[in-house]
Amino acid sequence: MNKTKARSEHIRKRAKIEEKYSWDRMSDADDERQSHSTRAVIASIVVLTIFTLYLFKLYEVQVSSHEYYATKSDSNRIRIRPIPAQRGNIFDRNGKILAKNITTFDLIVKKEKINNYEEFLSKVKTIIELSDSQVKNLNKQFRNKRIRDITLLEDITMEEYSKISVDKHALPEIELGVRSRREYLYPYSTSHVLGYTGNVSDSDVYSGVIDIQEGMTEVGKLGVERFYQNILAGESGFEKLETDALGEIIRTVETKDSKRGDDVYLTIDIDLQNYAYEQIKNKEGSIIVMNPNNGDIISFISAPGYDLNLFTKSISTENYNKLINDIRKPLINRAINGQYPPGSTLKPFVGLIALEENIINEKKLINCSGAYSLKNHKRPFKCWKKEGHGPSDLSYSLTQSCDVFFYRVAELTGIDTISENLYKYGFGQKTYLDLYNESSGLIPDRDWKYKIKQEPWYPGETLKLELDKVIF
């Protein structure tokens, strides 16, 4: 009985265990099918998402951003080669040419084609004789990542051109470039009028004065060339070239011709200009000849001058140092940069101011005894004529340049009235001639002296205005 009861209890416990840990094969199959279905849905969603993104990208490339990607693609095979405009000529008032263009050949190095620089340099030296300074300059420009093309030689001779043309197949890294170079027909007499052209520099780019166009390599640096840069320069063109994977040109896709710059006609008479320069070329000074009826400047000389054609090519260090170290300072434009006391040329203005202010009239007589004494001043102010001019009115004093007459008139008029009116006549101001870097003159007055020296203005200084105070 006990055995039967124990067996029944064992069977009951076993049944519970089997019931607890048993599994249904049909139920498991359903779960498996459900799992496969879920994975399929997830995979479908992933595939659909990828396909949707692909379609979106395709739309962006083909439609929405087509221009951007087309341009990016073109940049890999399209090269833009600028066509510089020919510069306008400069003429004198009679149509005589002063500055023109001549065609020259340059040797250009294409940096992107150089695989081994040392090997390239070695090959170049077998064809062209290069100086140490030229090699040094080539090395420097090759290391400069901003420079794409290097001008190795400028204005090469026909002999050099022929030799390079024959051997060019061995040097695919070089090209013979044709360019227009400035030539000045009267380089010394017009040096401070015309100025010269030179390579574009950073200061030119950021000057805000001139327009720098794509492909522009030269701009006016000084004188008329600088002042009328935007008129003389013209408008650059371009060639759109299709290239292969090696960078070789396949065809020309598009061409826009350059537009030649406008000519400029000056009021200068070159015959008078040359004559005037010959008179003072070995001295230091300036000559300006002006038509008083209309203000035309017929001649504009600053001596000594210098050879403008030295700058049309890259000026050598030797030549530049000669100009810089020349004790006569040929690079200084004395006509617009020099500052000088006016001397007796100020007398007509002092007389005119006194007339306008009713301080004197044209018949006012002042006796010139050869000197003029000023109260509280130890030394008299002397006239150039030791024995004096005697009683003198304005007209006579102007023709004789009598110092005493104008000493007295200046004292009567006073520094405040004189300085104020001189400014109205243009003293102390720039003339705004068609040249940059002009210096203005100086009209001294009480405020100026106190600011500079912290001293009052003395009456005797008014009398000496024309000698050493006013500056043109």
- Residue 246 token pair: 């090696």
What's residue 116's pLDDT?
Answer: 84
pLDDT in tens, 421-430: 999 998 988 8
pLDDT greater than 50 at residue 8: yes
Q: How confident is the model at residue 338 (pLDDT cuts 50, 70, 90)?
A: confident
Give the pTM.
0.73
pLDDT greater than 60 at residue 467: no
Largest Cα–Cα separation, the chain = 176
pLDDT in tens, 114-163: 888 888 888 888 877 778 888 888 888 788 776 777 887 888 877 777 77
What totals of helices (H) and strands (E) does the chain contain, helices first?
18, 16
For the chain, give the mean pLDDT.
83
What's residue 134's pLDDT?
Answer: 81
pLDDT greater than 50 at residue 21: no
More confident residue, 10 or 112: 112
Residue from 412, 413, 372, 410 nearest 389 by CA: 372
Least confident of 48-57, 134-143, 261-270, 321-330: 48-57
The pair phi, psi for residue 116, each rounded to 5°, is -130, 105
Separation between Cα atoms, residue 218 and residue 236, nearest integer Å = 12
Active site residue 236: no
pLDDT greater than 60 at residue 249: yes
Residue from 83, 114, 243, 109 nearest 164 by CA: 109
pLDDT greater than 70 at residue 48: yes
* DSSP secondary structure letters along 328-390: T-TTS-TTTT-----GGGGHHHHHHHHHHTTS--TT--EEESSEE--TT-SSPEEPSSTT--E
pLDDT greater than 80 at residue 310: yes
| Average pLDDT for 6-27 | 55
Beta strands of 205-355 (E only): which ranges? 218-220, 237-243, 249-256, 264-265, 285-290, 297-303
What's residue 422's pLDDT?
Answer: 93
Catalytic residue among 65, 180, 258, 344: 344
DSSP conformation class of 62: I
What's residue 408's pLDDT?
Answer: 94
Asked if 308 and 184 count as a contact pair (C-beta separation under 8 A), the reply is yes
Residue from 180, 177, 149, 154 nearest 165 by CA: 177
